[in-house]
Amino acid sequence: MAKHHIEATVNGDAVEFLCETEETLLDVLRDTLNLTGSKEGCASGDCGACSVMLDGRLVCSCLVLGCEVAGRKVETIEGMAKGESLHPLQQQFLKSAALQCGICTPGVLVASKALLERSPDPTETEVRYWLAGNLCRCTGYDKIVSAVMDAAATLRKG
């Protein structure tokens, strides 16, 4: 059958795309819109590397169908830095060496931003449970958790 014609907003830009029913939002982002910052680690919602914001809600883009986002707002890692300047989380991750291979980093950053928007002063436990859906195999999470809490402090200072 014919593909679906979808109009949506991605990182503030109006986009149009065609997709098959079985294509996920992640497939669309990576293969159709060439936004490859969102990664596929499992395609089953277990690793979080494909985390994006859908109408302000943190989701795994591998668990959303492309045709479901018609008329909705999608935010990906590519939209996190504003113009010249990196988001404080991005800056802190660099400063704290909170990434090693970097494959989980986009998902971790998108998820962390979602956390700090809801909870500007999270405890370590809160950060760890919020990020439990973002697998990282390199860092042991230590520097990631520290970086999120340090970035939260920076953001609170405004």
| Near other proteins in 69-88, by CB under 8 A | 76-78, 80-81, 86
Phi, psi of 70 (to 5 degrees): -50, 125
Among 5, 140, 154, 156, binds other proteins (CB under 8 A): 140
**CA nearest 15: which of 56, 80, 57, 69?**
69
Residue 154 C-beta: closest distance to other proteins, Å: 13
CA–CA separation, 155 vs 6, rounded Å? 36
Residue 109 C-beta: closest distance to other proteins, Å: 6
Among 15, 18, 135, 155, binds other proteins (CB under 8 A): 135
Among 8, 28, 33, 38, binds other proteins (CB under 8 A): 38
Q: How crowded is the C-beta side of 133, counted as CA atoms within 13 Å?
A: 19
Q: How far does CA 110 lie from the centroid of its chain? A: 3
Q: Per-residue string for binding with other proteins, 90-109, x by CB under 8 A?
A: x--xxxxx-xxxxxxxx--x
Phi, psi of 32 (to 5 degrees): -100, -45
Nearer to other proteins, 8 or 150 (CB): 150
Nearer to other proteins, 8 or 47 (CB): 47
Residue 130 C-beta: closest distance to other proteins, Å: 5
Please work out the total of residues on this chain that contact other proteins, with binding judged by CB under 8 A: 82
CA–CA separation, 126 vs 35, rounded Å? 30
SS3 of residue 106 by DSSP? helix
